C-alpha cells in the first residue's frame, strides 16, 4: 500500500536486474546478483508476477502477487519448491548459502531453508510498526527497513523509516540510521542495496507534508554511522549493480514506465526499460481488485508459462532471428520487439523469447538456453512475460 504521506510506492529490497542484454550484478565478492522482472505488473491468470530475483550459482525466486495470499516460487541448486508463505509477500532475497528471506505482511521477515524446510521468523524491530526490504549483508546478517510511528501522525501514514540490522544467530535488531520525524517532516528509506564491504546504499526521500514542493531525493550510505553521499535531481531509485557500476531506475517517457540507467562519468545513460526495486508505474495490485473481481481471488495454480528466458538485446530483427535459428524449436519461442513487450524490451531493440514450460524451473530453462547458444550465454536472462 502506498501511503499518502511519503508520496512514493513501497519498493522491494536489495536486488539487481537483467534487461535485454543488460545484467545488473553485484560486485564479485559482494551482494547477490539478481535478475528482476522485465515486464513488471504483467497480469496473468495466476496473479501478477513481481520481484524475480536470481543469485548466480545459487538459485532464483519470484512472487506471484494475488488477491489475498501470495505465493513465492523458489529454485535453489535445481530444487524447485513453493515457499511456506501466508499473506502478502514482498522483497525476496537469497543468501550465498541458499537461505531465502522475504517480508510477510510487512510485519516480519521470514527465513527459509528450501532443503531442510526450516522456517524461522524475525519479528519487526520493537520500535517499528512495519518491516520490509530485507537485504543479506552476509550469510549470518540481514538488514531491513523499519517504519516507525511519529507522535501526532496517524498510524496509517508512513512518516518515518530507518534501516536496521540483525544477526541470524540471535540478538536484537540494531539501528543503522537515525532519522527523525515530526508531524510535518517525513523520511522514507527506499531501495537498500548491500555493498561488498557490508554497508548499505539507499535512497532517502524526505519532505514536508504541508508543503506544495516536491519531496527531496538523496543517496545515502550506512558507513561511518550513516551519511549523505549526494543529492539526486529528482525521483529515482537504486537498481543494484552492473559489475562495479551503480544502476538506477528513473521515470522514462520512452518506456512509459521506469527506465534503467547506468551511471557514467558523463551522467546517466539509459540502457533499457523496466522496474527493478520499484513497483511498476503501470502495474495493478490484485489486492485492490478483490471486490470487483471475485473470481480473481481464487486463481488457478501458477504455471511457469508466465516466466521466460530472453536473449538480447539485438540491434536488428535479422540478428535476433539468426540467434533464434540456432536454438531448438520450442513452443511459443519467438523474436519480440518493444511493441510486443514494451516493459521488457527497449525501444528499437529485438530479443528472442522462450517461455519456461510447465514443470521446468526458470533456472533449468536458463541453463538449457545458455548450453544451446554458448556464444550468447551472457545475453540470456529470466524475465516475466505475462504468459
CA–CA separation, 116 and 225 (whole Å) = 37
One domain, residues 342 and 203:
no
One domain, residues 162 and 289:
yes
Count how many Cα atoms sit within 13 Å of the Cα of residue 125 in the half-sphere of its side chain.
Answer: 25
Residue 214's CB is within 10 A of a number of other CB atoms, namely: 10
Say if 10 falls within a structural domain: no
Q: Which of 274, 294, 314 is the last residue of a domain?
A: 294
- How far from chain centre, in Å, is Cα 257? 15
Q: In what order do the strands lie in the sheet with 200-208?
A: 185-194, 200-208, 216-221, 227-231
Q: In what order do the strands lie in the sheet with 79-82?
A: 48-55, 59-65, 71-76, 79-82
- Please give the tally of structural domains in the chain: 2
One domain, residues 317 and 278:
no
pTM, two decimals, is 0.70
One domain, residues 192 and 330:
no
pLDDT in the model for residue 159? 85
One domain, residues 201 and 179:
yes
Residue with cell 537485504: 135
Say if 5 falls within a structural domain: no
Say if 50 falls within a structural domain: yes
Say if 217 falls within a structural domain: yes
pLDDT in the model for residue 34? 34
One domain, residues 149 and 177:
yes
Q: Which of 294, 315, 341 is the last residue of a domain?
A: 294
pLDDT in the model for residue 112? 97
One domain, residues 260 and 369:
no
One domain, residues 231 and 271:
yes
One domain, residues 267 and 363:
no
One domain, residues 97 and 182:
yes
One domain, residues 220 and 323:
no
Q: What is the mean pLDDT of each run of 10 residues along the chain (387 residues)?
A: 30 28 30 37 59 78 85 90 93 91 96 96 95 93 94 75 94 94 92 89 91 89 92 90 83 83 88 73 54 32 61 88 91 86 75 88 86 88 67
- Is residue 40 a contact partner of residue 50, using CB atoms and an 8 Å limit? yes
Strand partners, 377: none
Q: Which of 238, 261, 294 is the last residue of a domain?
A: 294
Say if 319 falls within a structural domain: yes
Cell triple for 262: 547506468
pLDDT in the model for residue 13? 27
pLDDT in the model for residue 30? 37
One domain, residues 33 and 117:
yes
Tell me the torsion sign for CA atoms 295, 297, 298, 304: positive
- Peptide bond between residue 227 and the one before it cis (omega within 30 degrees of 0): no
Say if 11 falls within a structural domain: no
Say if 2 falls within a structural domain: no
Structural domain span for residue 23? 18-294
CATH number, residue 123:
2.120.10
CATH number, residue 378:
3.30.70
Say if 182 falls within a structural domain: yes
Amino acid at each position: 500500500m502506498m501511503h499518502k504521506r511519503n508520496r512514493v510506492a513501497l519498493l522491494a529490497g536489495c536486488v539487481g536486474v537483467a534487461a535485454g542484454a543488460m545484467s545488473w550484478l553485484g560486485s564479485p565478492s559482494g551482494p547477490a546478483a539478481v535478475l528482476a522482472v522485465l515486464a513488471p505488473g504483467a497480469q496473468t491468470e495466476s496473479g501478477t508476477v513481481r520481484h524475480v530475483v536470481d543469485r548466480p550459482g545459487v538459485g532464483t525466486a519470484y512472487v506471484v502477487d494475488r488477491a489475498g495470499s501470495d505465493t513465492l516460487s523458489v529454485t535453489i541448486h535445481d530444487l524447485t519448491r513453493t515457499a511456506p508463505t501466508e499473506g502478502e509477500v514482498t522483497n525476496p532475497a537469497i543468501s550465498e548459502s541458499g537461505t531465502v528471506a522475504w517480508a510477510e505482511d510487512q510485519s516480519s521477515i521470514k527465513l527459509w531453508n528450501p532443503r531442510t524446510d526450516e522456517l524461522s521468523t524475525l519479528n519487526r524491530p520493537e520500535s517499528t510498526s512495519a518491516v520490509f526490504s530485507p537485504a543479506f549483508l552476509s550469510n549470518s546478517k540481514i538488514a531491513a527497513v523499519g517504519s516507525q510511528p511519529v507522535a501526532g501522525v496517524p498510524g496509517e501514514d508512513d512518516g518515518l523509516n530507518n534501516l536496521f540490522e540483525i544477526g541470524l544467530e540471535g540478538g536484537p535488531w540494531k539501528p543503522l540510521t537515525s532519522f527523525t520525524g515530526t508531524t510535518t517532516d517525513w523520511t522514507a528509506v527506499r531501495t537498500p542495496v548491500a555493498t561488498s564491504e557490508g554497508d548499505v546504499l539507499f535512497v532517502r526521500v524526505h519532505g514536508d507534508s504541508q508543503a506544495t514542493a516536491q519531496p527531496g531525493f538523496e543517496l545515502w550510505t550506512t558507513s561511518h554511522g550513516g551519511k549523505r553521499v549526494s543529492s539526486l535531481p529528482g525521483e529515482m531509485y537504486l537498481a543494484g549493480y552492473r559489475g562495479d557500476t551503480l544502476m538506477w531506475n528513473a521515470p522514462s517517457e520512452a518506456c512509459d514506465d521506469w527506465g534503467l540507467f547506468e551511471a557514467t562519468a558523463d551522467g546517466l545513460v539509459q540502457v533499457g526499460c523496466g522496474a527493478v526495486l520499484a513497483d511498476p508505474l503501470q502495474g495493478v495490485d490484485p489486492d485492490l481488485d478483490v471486490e470487483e473481481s471475485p473470481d480473481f481471488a481464487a486463481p488457478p495454480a501458477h504455471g511457469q508459462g508466465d516466466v521466460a528466458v530472453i536473449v538480447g538485446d539485438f540491434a536488428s530483427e535479422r540478428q535476433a532471428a539468426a540467434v533464434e535459428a540456432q536454438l531448438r524449436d520450442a513452443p511459443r519461442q519467438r523474436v519480440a520487439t518493444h511493441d510486443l513487450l514494451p516493459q521488457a524490451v527497449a525501444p528499437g531493440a529485438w530479443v528472442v523469447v522462450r517461455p519456461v514450460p510447465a514443470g521446468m524451473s526458470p533456472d533449468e530453462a536458463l541453463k538449457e538456453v545458455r548450453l544451446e547458444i554458448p556464444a550468447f550465454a551472457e545475453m540470456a536472462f529470466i524475465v516475466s512475460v505475462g504468459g
